[in-house]
Amino acid sequence: MSGYLTGVLVVLAFNVIAAYAVYLPMAAGQLNLGIAGFMAIGAYGAAFLTNEYGWSIWMAVPTASAAAGLVGIVIGIPVLRTHGIYLALATFALGQVIAAIFLNLEVVGGAAGYTVSDYVSPNVVFWAAAGVVVFMLLLSRTRFALYLTAVKSDPTVADLMGISVRGIQVAAFALGAAVAGFGGAFYALHYNFIEAQHFNVLLSVFTVLYVLFGGTQTVWGPLAGAIFFTLMPELLRAGEQWRYAIFAVFIILFMAIRPQGLVTTSLFRIFRRRRSGEAAQ
Amino acid sequence: MNATAIAAVPSPAPLASGAQAALVVNGVSKSFAGVHAIRNLSFEVPKGGATALIGPNGAGKTTVFNLVSGVYGVDSGSVHVNGQDITHLPSRQRIGKGIARSFQNVRLMAHLSVLENLLVGQHVRASSLGALLTPYRLFPNHPWKVEARRALAENGLEQYADEMVSALPYGVRKRIDLVRATLAGASVLMLDEPAAGLNPSETNDLRDHLNALVAQGLTLLIVEHDMHFVDSICRNVVVLNFGEKIAEGPLAVVQQNPEVRRAYIGDEEG
């Protein structure tokens, strides 16, 4: 595999992980605009534990991921009392606050950034992303995933059916944060250098964009969105300086025509019917 | 598989004869911004059989359902289900005490299929962490799905199992809403205008369905405007007007009550 292609695929792997981190709360109807903050916790956590305490990668990554999830629970409980645009603003601010803390934390390099001595190869990153996809596919087959949609569709009825709406929302938010932390940890270990400025609001916003673009109705949406958003600008390289403009126009047109995203439940239904139709013939 | 199987539906309560009431509403009041929606309301729903809650538009019937199910808290008074005080219980814990409800404007989850809506209805009987994280969708014949399909088949709705709810006609959605309410295994069902918007043949099917539920030992509390429908199912009616109970008893008797007649057709002398 050429260095260029490997580089693009590694970016894709990180984008896929980030997309699922955003997707989890979004499936329950919550927009998390602070995902970069949770990635930063995972990245700095894994970097610090391997650098300063000599932890192995296999200990440091789960711990850093769990730390991000724990912060997700602690922050999620008060923050998820807000809804809609206020939740978006609160999570946006949260992402900024976390990045600002790392920017001012001298023990992890402050504004100068932090060099990470341990290294994971692209293959490890690919396996990590594949693991997240498999985990999400399994999770999408459970009642938990069913309740995410139920809570998003009609929280009052979900509550009367006995479902803990707040419990499901906080769990989705925290699990998303843990997935973000997991991705962040591998990011630090693969690129060997992190700085707070990387985990900025654009990273959060772009990730939300892939997920909306791919569609939030099915578990395949974020994967499709991340693939499209990562590979399309590369394919448009022929357009030189116009490539981002072409890409932006394309996104605007697409969202106008198909606001529910690329992959939807009804799309799956059409395929399933066609397949059962063929089987009947 | 045992760990994830649904707990058995509680055995139906025996038909009551002077036994403990299924639902007791005692001295309940509720106001919204100073307007009295319900005033000192007391009534009992005996175990087994169906009771109707009737009254003109705006009498407070749906508010009573919302107070009993916990969508709103009461200002004063108490609510007991099967002898247990649920007055201050969080709304989501009430279904576990044996009381479930349907909704006036059918509230199925539009982004879920019919089968998935029924699975949500089973939640109270499958709420452990293990049940939450079992990838049941990988098993075509998982007991949860089998039970939901059977409930659909018993009501002639099996062909809709995999349809999206938003694509179905109103009458079908209404019946699925009722099936979902029964899947919680509750012994008391509150049904808010179950016959509204149904055509005569659908209304007949609904009557058979409700009578079958009563025959199984369930207790029904029904808000309904169609008096023929009420007469064919309910032994007892409670009449509300302006948030107060104005009469109670068998429909034929209540219909002769002058205050009830005034509430429905206005003061004839006025």
Please report the ipTM that was assigned to this predicted complex.
Answer: 0.86
Predicted local distance difference test score (pLDDT) of residue A251: 83
Q: Which residues of A touch B132 (CB under 8 A)?
A: 142-144, 147
Reading the block at residue A129, the tokens are 């992303």
Q: CA torsion A215→A220→A223→A229, rounded to 10°?
A: -30
Residues of chain B neighbouring A156 (CB-CB closer than 8 A): 71, 107
Question: Are the CB atoms for B154 and B142 separated by under 8 Å?
Answer: no
Q: What share of chain A is helix, strand, coil (3-state, %, to 5)?
A: 80, 0, 20
Q: Is the model more confident about A252 or about B9?
A: A252
CB A212 within 8 A of CB A261: yes
What tokens appear for B155 in the block? 């009501």
The whole-number average pLDDT for the span A155-170 is: 94
Per-residue pLDDT at B7 exceeds 70: no
B133 CB neighbours in chain A (<8 A) are 139, 142-144
Percent of chain B predicted with pLDDT > 70: 91
Measure the CA–CA gap between A118 and B157, rounded to whole angstroms. Answer: 59
Residue B189 near residue B13, CB atoms below 8 Å: no
| Global pTM value | 0.89
Inspect the interface and report whether the beta carbons of B109 and A147 lie closer than 8 Å.
no
- What is the three-class DSSP state of B73? coil
Strand pairing partners for B223? B53, B192
Candidates A173, A170, A141, A146; CA nearest to A158 is A146
Mutate to test the interface with A, among B67, B95, B102, B132 (most CBs of A within 10 A): B132
Q: What is the mean pLDDT of residues A186-214?
A: 93
B123 in contact with A, Cβ within 8 Å = yes
Q: Taking CA atoms, what residue in A is nearest to B140?
A: A141
pLDDT above 90 coverage of chain B, percent = 66
| A240 vs A99, more confident | A99
pLDDT digits (tens, 9 = 90+) for B140-165: 999 999 999 999 999 889 999 999 89
Rounded Cα–Cα distance for residues A15 and A23 (Å):
12
Q: Choose, out of B120, B125, B173, the residue to mutate when testing the contact with A (most A CBs < 10 Å).
A: B120
Mean pLDDT of chain B: 88
Closest partner residue to B133 (CB to CB) among A142, A149, A152 is: A142
